[in-house]
Amino acid sequence: MSEKIAINFTVNGDNESRDVEVGQTLMKFIRDDLHLTGTKSGCEIGECGACTVILDGKPVNSCLVLAVELDGKELVTIEGLTKNGELDRIQKAFIDHAAFQCGYCTPGMIMSARALLERTPEPTDEDINEALSGNLCRCGAYQEIREAVKSASKK
Amino acid sequence: MAELKTVGTSVQRKDAIEKVTGSAQFIEDRYMGPMLYAKMKKSTVAHGIIKKIDLKKAQAHPGVKAILTGKDYPNKIGLYLIDRDFLAVEKVRYWGEPVAVVAAVTEKAAAEAVELIEVEYEELPGVFDPRESMKPNAPVIHEDLGNYEIVPIFYPKPGTNIANHFKLRKGDIDKGFAEADLVIEKEYYVPQMQHVPIETHKAAVQWGHDGKLTVWSTAQSPNVVRQLLAKSFDIPMHKIRVISSYIGGGFGCKAGASVEGLVIPLAKMFPGYIVRIIFNREEDMQGTFTRQALFSKLKTGVRKDGRITALQYEMIWDGGAYTEYGVNIVRAAGYSSTGAYDIPNVKTDSYCVYTNNSIGGPVRGFGMCEMQWGIERQIEEIAKQLDMDPLEVRMINGMKKGSTTAAGQVVQDVDYHKCLKTVADQIGWGKKEGKYRGKGIAGLVKCPAQPSNAASSAIIRINEDGTAHVMIGATEMGQGMLTAISQIASEALNIPVDKIDIKVPDTDFTPYEWQSVGSRITYTCGTSVKRAAEDALGQIYLIASDLLETPQEDLTFDGKKVYSTKDPGIKATIREIADSCKKCTGEGIAGPIIGRGSFVPTNMTNLDPETGQGNPGLFYCFGATGVEVEVDPETGVIKILQLAAAIDAGQAVNPQLCISQLHGGTIMGLSTALYEEVKFDKGIMLNRNFTDYKISSIDNTPHIDSFIIETPETNGPYGARGIGEQPMIAVAPAVANAVCDALGIEFNTFPLTPERVWKAIKDSK
């Protein structure tokens, strides 16, 4: 068996302790061990952004981070955006603007957008383009996504 | 027609909450039970005989449960031409073809074992250009072509690499050219592209102890998967259950059957276990369908007044190593070979040719992007040589009500001219804005490419409280089918959309739908659902009539109750009617209400084998794209200044979702126009990831001005027709036409990368 290391972290506000395999990616850990399957796997090499989560306030491709690096950190996944059944404003804006089609890139896209709004509450089109350029949407919902992020920023 | 209540409104997507919360389940998100994981061993040569496969080391690897090769199951599969091996048998025909499949207790163990499999090949000469592959002395890729089972509307030439030769002869081609004042002949090339849905191909399979096979698949078409697997593995259909989840993008690559068969024999060895295979990005790009490359020669005859009198089109398609599906793309491009134009004399030869490149297959547009690239470029050339406005040439020749297609089918319900005019007006057509700026327009048409009897069906169950379940076999891959179909059911039943439940299919429980392809679902499934709703509604009236002792014609249903129009006091709630209705005396009247509807086209025919004449189209959808560009002459970089798209949806069932499709198709088209080309070196796919194979991202996607035109489709549900694929078709030629307008340089191929544009500018000086 592979070597395991104990880590402590918070996930979506809850404290957790786990033993993780040293070579395991954060993406696999989130999906396979934490069973938070909202985080999607699209390329496993950091090119598509489908696995984006927020780690200590910053958006990261969870396929490029090792699970052991989670130790002592704060993780937010798409499941963490909904509070007591109430959708986050960015989620509501994505619905209002039909800013998704197949929905596979959507959790990653929303997490990147959420992180953008945290650091830039009123982003310009350029800010949005830059912040979301690492999140590929093959269905081509980009125009709706831009509108959704802008509308969420105004609230 | 009564005023529409739900159809035509932008109700919220049925899948909205699930998709924005991450709770929407895709195949990989499902926990199914005890699992084994499969990985493929892939060929390292593009064409070769398998001399030896040594499994010893791999079999001894910890965690490995079983390894199978093509010898263990030489079953073949194919939608139209049964030519494809799940695992290569005796020879490999493309680089990366699966030669063995491993099942292990972890994905990691399976991947490690794959590396320990040793395969020895005797390499054969390969062919990588379909024009070479057609030649009599070319190495034959499928020696058994003459023995393959085939749908008898395709015409392979055994002993050669030609998997299908589609012939079309309309009018008198010699007369057409004789009438012309000008004859133009040009060659065009369209390279392979990849769909790259963000969710790759995935399947999980369980062979039950009772012999029941359950398949969870990313397939666009569970019913076709079931049908193909039943045939390939000789299993009765009731013993196969195909379950769909949400699909993370399809665009054609998940049509037909693909990965499921790789793991079925492994599952059979371990009853009760679920054997799962997940293609990684590289496997998905290289081992699933690519868009077939097209080499074409197009010759048109035209009069001085701009009227096209003759069109001669030779298309040579790179079918790749297996053409089980590709033969029909070649056929579709052939029978549609005049594009959106009414041309009286046509001679078309469309060839599907085997090569040792990756497997060619369906992609959004199904041959229309490739074929209409040539048409829409050539119209520019016609206009240039006649010194006419290219928009005018399009207007003069564009199809209108009563025009005939290349196949001789008469088109109805057409306003192509409005589509053209709409985008032209939007981009300010006719006004030149600057030295390196240019404008371009291109048009499009597409009908669903489907067998003439491709069927559809629907069941609607009315619950005891008057809510309803709509059960259908179509899949949801982002196009918004669940929402549009619910709206059609709601409209017909007079029950609000939020009281209608609809789910993705499960072949054990949902009725038959051929395939969710070809932008056909709104029309086919929509018609079935409308009929099922009318059937249910008929039962509601029948039961109410009995209960209320009132003639049916005096009754009306408002979604909550049925009442007499003559005496509103005579009424019954939907609950009273739908809940196993009984009289006040206790005598039963009727049990639960189940509406049933089905559909099969009655307006389609086979095509004449010599002339290609007949009715291949269920409906025809027209549209147009307009572009303004600015080209940087120093770098060759194209900047999109304006992008306008119009599509004729007949009746937009959900305008917001129609716009989504229009945007999505336009962006995919723009991505192929500017960036996308799969590159091969002797069959080896070179760009197999998103770094090397660039697609549009948000930062390079311009604003799109979108227009839904509504020329009702007479036989479509509430006048609707499908529009999912179409918006992609005209984008690449519109961009090239605009670049040509800016620079005066012709491009006969795309993508228009900075390198290609820069070189062309340099060469023109």
User: Taking CA atoms, what residue in A is nearest to B479?
Assistant: A101
User: Taking CA atoms, what residue in B is nearest to A53?
Assistant: B22
CATH number of the domain that residue A129 is part of: 1.10.150.120
pLDDT at B487 over 90: yes
Task: Name the burial class of residue A13, with classes exposed (0-12), middle (13-18) and buried (19+) by CB atoms within 10 angstroms of its CB.
Answer: exposed
Tokens of B44: 């390292």
Residues in chain B: 765
- Residues of chain B with C-beta less than 8 angstroms from the C-beta of A132: 697-699
- Residues of chain B with C-beta less than 8 angstroms from the C-beta of A79: 21-23
Same domain, A105 and A60: no
A28 to chain B, closest Cα gap in Å: 12
Establish how many alpha carbons lie within 13 A of residue B328's alpha carbon, considering only the half-sphere containing its beta carbon: 27
pLDDT at A2 over 80: no
Same domain, A24 and A65: yes
Mean pLDDT value of segment B559-567: 95
The pLDDT of residue B446 = 98
Rounded Cα distance between A123 and A129, Å, is 10
Same domain, A104 and A136: yes
A6 to chain B, closest Cα gap in Å: 22
- Band the pLDDT of B59: cuts 50, 70, 90: very high
- Residues of chain B with C-beta less than 8 angstroms from the C-beta of A85: none
Q: Which of A51, A52, A58 is nearest to A73 (CA)?
A: A58
Give pLDDT tens digits for B673-701.
Answer: 999 999 999 999 999 999 999 999 999 99
Rounded Cα distance between B121 and B97, Å, is 13
Establish how many alpha carbons lie within 13 A of residue B731's alpha carbon, considering only the half-sphere containing its beta carbon: 31
Give pLDDT tens digits for B101-121.
Answer: 999 999 999 999 999 999 999
Mean pLDDT value of segment B4-11: 98
Same domain, A70 and A95: no
pLDDT at A155 over 60: no
Rounded Cα distance between B13 and B6, Å, is 13
Tokens of A51: 């696995």
B523 to chain A, closest Cα gap in Å: 20
The pLDDT of residue B746 = 95
CB B155 within 8 A of CB B608: no
Same domain, A36 and A71: yes
User: Cβ B689–A94 below 8 Å, yes or no?
Assistant: no
Same domain, A145 and A112: yes
Same domain, A76 and A139: no
Mean pLDDT value of segment B286-294: 97
The pLDDT of residue B433 = 86
Domain that residue A38 falls in: 4-80
Domain boundary among A80, A108, A138: A80
pLDDT at A154 over 80: no
- Band the pLDDT of B581: cuts 50, 70, 90: confident
Establish how many alpha carbons lie within 13 A of residue B464's alpha carbon, considering only the half-sphere containing its beta carbon: 5
The pLDDT of residue A1 = 52
Mean pLDDT value of segment B378-389: 98
The pLDDT of residue B1 = 54
Q: Where are the alpha helices (DSSP H) in B549-591?
A: 574-578
- The domains of chain B, with CATH numbers, are 16-23+454-599 (3.30.365.10), 32-124+201-278 (3.90.1170.50), 290-451+605-764 (3.30.365.10)
Mean pLDDT value of segment A30-50: 97
pLDDT at B276 over 60: yes
Mean pLDDT value of segment B715-730: 98
The pLDDT of residue B584 = 87
Same domain, A38 and A94: no
Work out the mean pLDDT of chain B and round it to a whole number.
Answer: 97
Domain boundary among A35, A51, A80: A80
pLDDT at B389 over 70: yes
Give pLDDT tens digits for B319-353.
Answer: 999 999 999 999 999 999 999 999 999 999 999 99
The pLDDT of residue B32 = 83
CATH number of the domain that residue A74 is part of: 3.10.20.30
pLDDT at B171 over 80: yes
Same domain, A38 and A97: no
Q: Which of B114, B1, B119, B109 is nearest to B50 (CA)?
A: B119
Q: Which of B543, B527, B541 is nearest to B492 (CA)?
A: B527
The pLDDT of residue B432 = 83
| B413: alpha, beta or left? (left if phi > 0; alpha if psi -120 to 50) | left
Helix (H) or strand (E) holding B107: helix B107-116
With DSSP H G I counted as helix, E B as strand and the rest as coil, what are the percentages for chain B, rounded to 5? 30, 25, 45
Backbone phi, psi, residue B34, to 5°? -60, 130
Q: State the DSSP string of B262-307.
A: HHHHHHHHSTT-EEEEE--HHHHHHHS-EEPPEEEEEEEEE-TTS-
Tokens of A115: 């992180």
Same domain, A101 and A149: yes
Same domain, A73 and A117: no
- Band the pLDDT of A48: cuts 50, 70, 90: very high
- B178 lies within 8 A of chain A by CB: no
User: Cβ B657–A98 below 8 Å, yes or no?
Assistant: yes
- B296 lies within 8 A of chain A by CB: no
B492 to chain A, closest Cα gap in Å: 25
Domain boundary among A60, A80, A100: A80
Place of tokens 């015409």: B155
- Residue B714's CB is within 10 A of a number of other CB atoms, namely 10
- Band the pLDDT of B258: cuts 50, 70, 90: confident
- Band the pLDDT of B479: cuts 50, 70, 90: very high
User: Cβ B20–A94 below 8 Å, yes or no?
Assistant: yes
Q: Answer whether the bond into residue B191 is a cis peptide, omega within 30°.
A: no
A100 to chain B, closest Cα gap in Å: 8
Helix (H) or strand (E) holding B668: helix B655-674
Same domain, A22 and A75: yes
Domain count, chain A: 2
User: Taking CA atoms, what residue in A is nearest to B31?
Assistant: A35
